Amino acid sequence: MSSRTTSLKILQLSDAHLSADCAADYRGQNAEQNLERLIPRAKGWKPDCLLLTGDISEDASPASYQRIAARLKCLSVPVLALPGNHDDPDEMRKHFPQGPWRGPLAYEAGPWLLILMDSTTRGSISGSISQQALDQMDLLVERSSAKHVLLGLHHQPVSVNAPWIDRYGLRDSERLFERLDRTDRLRCIVWGHVHHDFQSTRKGVLLLGAPSTVANSLPGTERFSLDPAGPACRWLKLGAHGSVATGILRRS
Ligand SMILES: [Fe+2]
């Protein structure tokens, strides 16, 4: 999908898995260095905003959030942040105030409404979204005059054909889809958690899973299998008329 008229350029950074210890190993990779190498590409792409789709930290340490927040400051754009199962929302919100910390976050930009939903459940790798949050999401969409909606969450609401992570997806995703099916303004759902580039559609809505900025798995594998292509992030161009163009950005 593509658009000649771009109204919003979003860069989605996901699953950075930073630790308090800069030298910590994550699946044989250094989270700090791999993120650092993506930053010049991210900056060069000139996004209008950043979307962090969770597991920003591996150990939920204050130091890890401080470092990534400081690093992203050089892009000088708004940062919207979602917690993942590794994150501590209370700690994370201190560094990323724009997130679904007291219910879903609504961020309006021209004809687009971005809704961020917290899909984490304390103590669980899998995700879920409460009935109350779904009610709040309905209200936000209903009250907004935006013509197009993008939904962001950490956990995948559909199978991504990778058993190692599909066993930890969003539980009760049918409840979410039942609500989403009530609007004809939803154009795209984006998530993290799956550590590979995933694309599909459902009832005309684009479904996108993001790669990780530290380590990715080859798609369709039973176990996590390190993708030699390395870390990456997703770019999105949301068109004024509802189109969604997207692709993957890797370090140069
Ligand atoms: Fe995750």
CATH number at residue 47: 3.60.21.10
- Within-domain flag for 68: yes
Beta-bridge mates of residue 131: none
What pLDDT was estimated at residue 251? 86
- Within-domain flag for 240: no
- Within-domain flag for 231: no
- Within-domain flag for 239: no
Distance 155 CA to ligand 1 centre (A): 7
Rounded distance between C-alpha atoms, residue 144 and residue 8, angstroms:
17
- Within-domain flag for 245: no
Count of other CB atoms within 10 angstroms of residue 84: 30
Rounded distance between C-alpha atoms, residue 65 and residue 93, angstroms:
9
In the chain, % helix, strand, coil (3-state, to 5) comes to 25, 30, 45
Distance 129 CA to ligand 1 centre (A): 15
- Within-domain flag for 71: yes
What pLDDT was estimated at residue 124? 97
Rounded distance between C-alpha atoms, residue 55 and residue 118, angstroms:
12
Distance 102 CA to ligand 1 centre (A): 20
What pLDDT was estimated at residue 232? 98
Q: Which two tokens stand for residue 207?
A: 């479904």
Distance 99 CA to ligand 1 centre (A): 16
Distance 55 CA to ligand 1 centre (A): 5
Distance 16 CA to ligand 1 centre (A): 10
Which residue ranges of the chain lie beneath pLDDT 50? 1-4
Which structural domain range is residue 122 located in? Answer: 6-202
Q: How many domains does the chain have?
A: 1
- Within-domain flag for 249: no
Q: Please provide the size of the chain in residues.
A: 252
What pLDDT was estimated at residue 6? 64
- Within-domain flag for 134: yes
Q: Which residues contact 63 (CB under 8 A, 6 or more apart)?
A: 20
